[in-house]
Structure 1
């Protein structure tokens, strides 16, 4: 488990694509998690396009006291009608004292009778730092130029760009300067204004890669802060996996004179009672 898996309201669990394709639903839906010998069940949502668990995954983490460094084995539950998984949890302290790097010793030491079951979930040595950065960058679509590791060996992606958007060299330079100055604990969401967001529909679609990992999975009010002013907007979800800012967003656009080509950087405020994002704007004239 890494920080992004167990810490903060936006905690999520990434599922390897090959394993998800073989054992998880082929649509966005809830699955069932259960500990061995326990009756309690959790029903996190599996996002098919993103190969990740959210929602009650955070409840599972909290109620089972999952920590950074712990190991979770998700094994398909035999005989279950729907997608259900038995989760074997190995504590970091126990793993350090009792388990080496050999995956078969993990399965035999913790009561999993069939070693092949453990191997089926791709238990192997931890990837190198370079391999980990590459794989997570591919999944989240984040810039990796300024990805850095913290003292515990995990990294925090600096920003996530809106879907199908591409920054020019001058835009990239200014965005990265802004991101470094903001120093946010969670990724910054970078949106380049287009006709749909500032002219035709007056709606801002938020990339599912960012939203699934950092925003609620239900309709909710969102407060936008910019230059000591606030705007109340509505965040809605359509087709199960597309997040939009609609009601209130046109007011934000008009009040701040946003135009096609302007760039908005959205900083999620963690300690606010309401869902809140501070917006940093780079106007096209500045580029």
Structure 2
């Protein structure tokens, strides 16, 4: 446990295979940071800005995240040696949860967009997600906005379709050595078969690539063939990709190119 900038306390949890999905205990030494009169629920917010409402349960053994934790666990495909960092915001008992996979890379989740163009969260209410805020949140030292960068954000945010789709900002894990692409669990469960199969990715020039879609428990990803797609389409960190499901196993990938990083950055 420790404190971030602005004296924001935090704690971490290691999630192993076979981890209890029914509840998660808040470390006893961390409880001193919580209000004496606990609300009925806490809010868990992931890297896309989506929120999960989880009931708080107080027992003689401690305080637990209970009802709603299993849904969060499944939606984020946990249970494969992940490292979770819970940053406490204080307001409305909200935690920003940063998830690191066993490869040591931070998982950056794309927003799952339904045909009404709103993000569905497990809280049961649709909520619009600001992609621009999401991208800024990922940067440790966000650079000053430029007209070019703002244009890319606006273009990606203005995208709409009658087909289901999700958005992802490319990170090192997506385009570096041995890259993979995590498919949001909500999207995978609704639109993909629950077995390993092949899907076809197409770009705007109607070129196609066959990519392996692998699912194991709550893990859903594009793996074999994804590296070739990344190379052929010259994807790089910061590019925004929208994956639009046109048919059962056919996805059109819209790429919004990130501008070159400015040399002048704001320090935070």
Larger Rg: 1
Structure having the higher helix fraction is 1
Higher relative contact order (CA 8 A, sep 6+): 2
TM over 0.5: no
When normalised by structure 1's length, the TM-score is 0.41
Structure having the higher strand fraction is 2
